[in-house]
Amino acid sequence: MPHTTQSGLPIETLYGPESTRGPGHAATLGQPGTHPFTRGVYPTMYTDRPWTMRQYAGFGTAEESNARYRTLIANGTTGLSVAFDLPTQMGYDSDAALARGEVGKVGVAIDSIEDMRVLFHSIPMGQVSTSMTINAPAAVLLLLYQLVAEEKGIAADQLTGTVQNDVLKEYIARGTYIYPPAASLRLATDIFRYCRTEIPRWNTISISGYHMAEAGASPVQEIAFTLANGIEYVRAAVAAGMDVDDFAPRLSFFFVARTTILEEVAKFRAARRIWARIMRDEFGARNPKSQMLRFHTQTAGVQLTAQQPELNLVRVTMQGLAAVLGGTQSLHTNSFDEAMALPTEKSARLALRTQQVLAHESDLTATVDPFAGSYAVERMTDELEAATLALMRRVEEMGGAAKAIEQGFQKSEIETVAYRVALDTDSGRRVVVGVNRYAQDEEEPYEPLRIDPSIEARQIERLAKLRAWRCTTRVRESLQDLKATALGTGNVLYPMKAALSAGATVGEVSDALREVWGTHTSADTRL
């Protein structure tokens, strides 16, 4: 059905220089869905269907998170995004000494296949796309997901989703790494190879600039360091003997969306253009899907404020608008109360409704690439591209992303920008409404979501029961097979899956690899 304006005038599916009095520069932009994908990775973008609406959620036990997921699905979310607690992210079981006090606090605690069964109880895993924000133990959580799906009779080739699996950015901006960089790259490429054969519709990595932005990176730094990391992963996979067109179509990216709408739109356009040319010209990718930069976006958590938190509703709407105008493939909108605590069910639903209003009450889905030909956006895109390429050349001169990480380059550059922004905010040169301008003397009371402190004891009890009923000999032998494979050159995901199926825990599998590969500490580099 053709789209029309409120005035009854037709809205064209695609506008170009022949249909507008816009700048002649638009004639050089190409078409959506064609190299270099400046105007979007698909020819029709949202005119056929909107972006995937994800909500990042997970807290407490698997039972509590499962209830939140089912509520989100009932309210219209089209993709789940799982947040794991800190022990799970670091490859520790809930009964580990280092896990004490952190179980279930910033995400859901997953220790074994038992927890994963509960987490996805009554969830249509063959129909819902699931993204898992997990890095060092990414292979472990992906295999647990596959095992649970298979128990439900869902074939692995029907599963769709993404595993973040981007450990390089952990050394730069976040810190939840386990193994040294070389071993981490080996594990990432093993996931590439495994999914190509076993879970072909799965996105094997989400190369992330979001966390760098949260650490203070500018938009140029965000895309420069993210794409440099992407190059490192591609090189590692090619060095492992994979053809670029065998794995590159399943690469994906993860970016932030800030309130600076014009720059964010230009950022996304520049990133697509740079990546397309890198994949075609430097790596010889022939498949157009290998050249596409497909990305998920999350609105900027770092821009949320605890002061006058209702203002975050406005910020998130602006950020979501920037992501959609920039051509994102999926979007998570933060809840307005996330600067204070984990979101309540009501605030999470409101965040989802924000996306639904953008999709259904605006005209954003009526035409492809509405900003094409904008004098401001096209100029900003060109300038962002030039600045990004210059920064990427500096990374290359150091020997690539991994070598630059060892020298502390990316971290130092991001910290410099973060410090400058902090000074500008403190001085008032950078306005933050409700914080350094238009502040209120008294804030309205707010009742946050609170995590039951008994969760940790319940998880420990569940682990004890698991260890009591499982076959200890089978678990021990499967972990030995995993270590033997890790010492060699085979794909570690196959023995890892056998160990998890036998009842091995996330911590036990991670410990087996720690024994073989060792661990990375900040003292190993300048990080």
State residue 27's pLDDT score: 46
Least confident of 1-15, 263-277, 419-433: 1-15
Q: Are 248 and 294 in contact (CB under 8 A)?
A: no
* CA nearest to 275, candidates 165, 385, 418: 385
Residues ≥6 apart with Cβ < 8 Å to 19? 12
- Which tokens in the block code for residue 451? 């995590």
Share of the chain above pLDDT 90, in %: 85
Q: In terms of pTM, does the model score above 0.85?
A: yes
Does 23 score more than 60 pLDDT? no
- Which tokens in the block code for residue 453? 């402190």
* CA nearest to 274, candidates 382, 169, 405: 382
pLDDT top residue among 70 and 58: 70
Q: How confident is the model at residue 370 (pLDDT cuts 50, 70, 90)?
A: very high
Q: How confident is the model at residue 413 (pLDDT cuts 50, 70, 90)?
A: very high
Average pLDDT, the chain: 93
User: Rounded to whole angstroms, how far apart are CA atoms 10 and 74?
Assistant: 34
* CA nearest to 64, candidates 4, 121, 147, 141: 121
User: Rounded to whole angstroms, how far apart are CA atoms 22 and 37?
Assistant: 20
- Which tokens in the block code for residue 61? 């036990």
DSSP state of 172: I
Q: Which of 3-12, 68-77, 195-204 is predicted most confidently?
A: 195-204
- Which tokens in the block code for residue 392? 């990427």
Q: Are 264 and 322 in contact (CB under 8 A)?
A: yes
CA 179 from chain centre, in angstroms, equals 20
State residue 525's pLDDT score: 45
Domains of the chain: 45-427 (3.20.20.240), 472-524 (no CATH)
449-486 tens-digit pLDDT: 677 778 899 999 999 999 999 999 999 999 999 999 99
State residue 17's pLDDT score: 76
Share of the chain above pLDDT 70, in %: 96
State residue 19's pLDDT score: 55
Q: Are 388 and 227 in contact (CB under 8 A)?
A: yes
State residue 100's pLDDT score: 93
State residue 522's pLDDT score: 66
User: Residue 380, CB half-sphere, CA atoms under 13 Å: how many?
Assistant: 20
User: Rounded to whole angstroms, how far apart are CA atoms 132 and 153?
Assistant: 21
Q: Are 251 and 233 in contact (CB under 8 A)?
A: yes
Q: How confident is the model at residue 1 (pLDDT cuts 50, 70, 90)?
A: low
User: Rounded to whole angstroms, how far apart are CA atoms 58 and 42?
Assistant: 31
Does 174 score more than 50 pLDDT? yes
- Which tokens in the block code for residue 40? 């979007």
Burial environment of residue 101 by CB neighbours within 10 A (0 to 12, 13 to 18, 19 or more)? exposed
Torsion, Cα 216 523 253 110, to 10 degrees, reads -110
User: Rounded to whole angstroms, how far apart are CA atoms 462 and 474?
Assistant: 20
Q: How do strand 52-57 and strand 79-83 relate by DSSP bridges?
A: parallel
User: Rounded to whole angstroms, how far apart are CA atoms 201 and 190?
Assistant: 16
Beta-carbon count within 10 A of 491 CB: 20
User: Rounded to whole angstroms, how far apart are CA atoms 363 and 324?
Assistant: 11
Does 212 score more than 90 pLDDT? yes
At 211, give phi and psi (nearest 5°): -70, -30
Q: Are 296 and 252 in contact (CB under 8 A)?
A: yes
Cis peptide before 23 (omega within 30 of 0): no
Q: Are 285 and 238 in contact (CB under 8 A)?
A: no
Residues linked to residue 202 through DSSP beta bridges, in sequence order = 161
Q: Are 482 and 492 in contact (CB under 8 A)?
A: yes
Residues ≥6 apart with Cβ < 8 Å to 511? 91
Does 290 score more than 90 pLDDT? yes
User: Rounded to whole angstroms, how far apart are CA atoms 147 and 155?
Assistant: 10
Q: How confident is the model at residue 173 (pLDDT cuts 50, 70, 90)?
A: confident
Beta-carbon count within 10 A of 320 CB: 28
- Which tokens in the block code for residue 122? 């009554």
Crossing angle for the helix pair 472-487 and 506-517, to the nearest 10 degrees: 40
Residues ≥6 apart with Cβ < 8 Å to 166? 135, 188, 205, 206, 207, 208, 229, 233, 254
State residue 26's pLDDT score: 45
Q: How confident is the model at residue 81 (pLDDT cuts 50, 70, 90)?
A: confident
Residues ≥6 apart with Cβ < 8 Å to 290? 244, 245, 248, 249, 279, 283
